[in-house]
Amino acid sequence: MLHFEGLRKRVIKNYFIIIILTVTLFEGLFMFYVQNYYYDSVRQSLKAQVNYTNSVYNTSINNIENTTFDEKISNILDKQKIGESSKFAIQVIDKNKNIIVDPYGIKTNEKIESEDVDKALKGAKDLYPITSKIKATNEHVMSVSVPIKINNVIEGAIRYTVSLTEIDATIFKLGLGLVFAGICILIIALSLSLRFAETIIQPLVELKEFANELSHGNFSIKLKDTNISNDEIGDLAKTFVHMAAEIDKSEKLKEEFISSISHELRTPLTSIKGWSETLGYEEITRDELDLGLGIIQDETERLIKLVEELLDFSRLASDRIKLKIDTVDIKRLAIGVVNQLKVKSNEKNIRLNVEFINEDIDLIQGDKDRLRQVLINLVQNSIKFTDDGGFINIVVSQDEEYTTIKVVDNGAGIEKENLEKVLDKFFQEDYNKAGSGLGLAISNEIVKLHGGNMILNSKKGVGTSITVKIKNIHIKSIQA
Q: How far is CA 272 from CA 269, 294, 295, in A?
A: 5, 10, 8
Q: What is the per-residue pLDDT for 82?
A: 45
3-state secondary structure of 130: strand
* Higher-confidence position of 259 and 346: 346
**Hey, which residues does 140 pair with through a beta bridge?**
133
* Nearest-angstrom CA–CA distance, 208 and 220: 16
Give, as one character, the DSSP assignment of residue 20: H
Q: Which fold has domain 321-471?
A: Heat Shock Protein 90 (3.30.565)
**Hey, which residues does 441 pair with through a beta bridge?**
none
* Nearest-angstrom CA–CA distance, 178 and 174: 6
Among the ranges 29-38, 127-136, 199-208, 314-323, which has the highest mean pLDDT value?
Answer: 29-38
* Higher-confidence position of 453 and 68: 453
Q: Which helix (H) or strand (E) holds 453?
A: strand 453-459
- Evaluate whether 364 touches 454 at the Cβ level (below 8 Å): no
Query: Which residue in 120, 118, 115 sits closest to 130, CA to CA?
Result: 115
pTM check: above 0.75:
no
3-state secondary structure of 94: strand
Domain boundary assignment for the chain: 6-169, 232-316, 321-471
Q: What is the pLDDT of residues 409-433, one digit of tens each?
A: 998 888 877 777 777 665 665 545 5
The yes/no answer on whether domain 232-316 falls in CATH 3.40.50.460 is no
Percent of the chain residues past pLDDT 90, beyond the cut:
11
* Nearest-angstrom CA–CA distance, 152 and 212: 96
**Predicted confidence band of residue 90 (pLDDT cuts 50, 70, 90):** confident
- Evaluate whether 459 touches 447 at the Cβ level (below 8 Å): no
Give, as one character, the DSSP assignment of residue 101: E
Give, as one character, the DSSP assignment of residue 417: G
Q: Which fold has domain 6-169?
A: Beta-Lactamase (3.30.450)
Instruction: Reply yes or no on whether the pLDDT at 393 is more than 90.
Output: yes
Taking the alpha carbons of 283, 285, 286, 289 in that order, is the dihedral positive or negative? negative
C-alpha angle 290/295/296, rounded to 5°? Answer: 100
